[in-house]
Chains A and B, each alone.
Chain A
């Protein structure tokens, strides 16, 4: 079988956000593979290590620099990578069109993708891709196992969690807690340099986004930052309660 793991390159969570020309500026910032997608790559590797014969293909859409994230996936253990290169920013619905076509071309039967993208704060990609392929989906998985074409596992629902069974092909979203992603080792980093990283152009996917990105703003609420020293606990507690009661008026 063939597993596609979809990868995004995002701002490192520890980096601060800068805005230029009405959009978040990523130049000169540390960019990494989206953590949520890392769980996807790791899970693909684990499914293979559990005895399933699978080729793992890492896929990404974005500007030239995105290949660094794909290299990370290859160094973790993915077999090859496909990079659809474009400087156009695509929303999840538009992006899913690319991913679905690639899945068909590659005859994939399992797609793994992060549950929420750390740049768009979007949950839409996996479900949109599943819909385009007419496949079922399962989101926010916290456990997965594959036997033949039967995928079982656990995922988060509105309240609590559910165990499920599904038959492949399926689109799955991953999240923290599903596994602990491995670090690429030096030998694997060296090996990954020889792995195939195929470039494709966006043109052939016939994508027309229906959403425009108009502007971006960092809205920092000015906080009071009244921080007390708590060495004398009763005194600090009294002062805090007084502030919350009489200044902020948020407690009775």
Chain B
């Protein structure tokens, strides 16, 4: 079987899960596509995902109420072993990337990390992934009978649910005792459209001048265009924006149809999170800013004058 570990948030199956299901179906590995749902009070999630897979395994346990890399990896490895999985797919979220190596080692399997393509022929799985801060595409190969892969979000098409639902089975797990104690949480979920799902992303950097400047220029333009907002590390560190909006090596990777960079210099660490966007637009007063090298359209000029002018133009 191909095991897909379901990612969900707020009781809803995440887009990454539908993408993993497509990756599973297109992988060329045989056997039923099996969704594994881990957590507590997850009946709705299990029912939702049942519409796109061949079977659903549900581990609805109070012990799984909190994500923990040791518990999650133990659960996935156990199910993969019992079900004789030949391929285990996990999301390319922070947590997926965090516990997938533990799963791979428990299964004595290779880890194909953050892949953008995945194709099996016989025992061989060939995959592609971005390396060198997303400047290079590398092809890697595994010849093991089982492989663990994390799927880069936003690359595979989302599977479409059918009317008919697959059968669900409850599973028993033997889990280790958690060692990591979470003593507090700071949620930074913004009320806006999610960065990973938006067609247009408007991002701001230090060039917007201040937190107020970000609201005045970046948020105003995003509102006008129905876009999500993103930010550079520089302004997240300055406390102007929450970390959840950060785009780049240490933030989110986005791949929208249109990425609008306002007052962003274009450091490689920022580019690595957005350089796969279809169309890139930049506004910067420095003609030499690296962002212009990867821009399709741009204006050399001042944010404080250009963004209001663009807003006026858009409202015409």
- B137 at interface, CB cutoff 8 A: yes
With A214-B141, A230-B306 as contacts: A17 and B132 at CB distance below 8 Å: yes
Smallest beta-carbon distance A215→chain B, Å: 5
Give Cα distance in the complex from A226 to B249, angstroms.
Answer: 27
Per-residue CB proximity of A186-215 to B under 8 Å, as 1/0? 000000000000000000000000111111
Q: How many residues of A contact B (CB 8 A)?
A: 78
Interface residues of B (CB under 8 A from A): 9, 67, 69-70, 73, 93-95, 97-102, 104-106, 109-114, 126, 129-144, 179-189, 200, 225, 233, 237, 242-244, 249-250, 257-258, 267-269, 272, 275-276, 278-283, 285, 287, 292-302, 305-306, 308-310, 312-314
Residues of A with C-beta under 8 A to B297: 224, 226-228, 240, 243-244, 248
Smallest beta-carbon distance A35→chain B, Å: 9
**Pair B138/A215 contact, Cβ less than 8 Å:** yes
Q: Is the interface of B mostly helix, strand, loop or mixed?
A: mixed
**Pair B141/A212 contact, Cβ less than 8 Å:** yes
Q: A234-B312, A250-B258 are in contact. List 18 more A-B contacts (CB 8 A).
A: A11-B132, A93-B104, A119-B131, A121-B129, A124-B104, A128-B111, A160-B188, A163-B182, A165-B183, A166-B180, A211-B112, A216-B137, A218-B137, A225-B296, A236-B309, A237-B310, A238-B313, A251-B200
Give Cα distance in the complex from A163 to B250, angstroms.
Answer: 18
Q: Is the interface of A mostly helix, strand, loop or mixed?
A: mixed
Interface residues of A (CB under 8 A from B): 11, 13-14, 17, 19, 24, 91-93, 96, 115-116, 118-125, 127-128, 130-132, 136-140, 152, 156-167, 175-177, 210-219, 221, 223-231, 233-234, 236-238, 240-241, 243-244, 248, 250-251
What are 10 contact pairs spanning A and B, CB under 8 A? A14-B268, A17-B132, A122-B113, A127-B99, A128-B101, A215-B138, A226-B297, A240-B313, A248-B297, A250-B257
**Pair A121/B130 contact, Cβ less than 8 Å:** yes
Residues of A with C-beta under 8 A to B140: 91, 211-214
Give Cα distance in the complex from A227 to B293, angstroms.
Answer: 10
Least CB separation from A118: chain B residue: B133
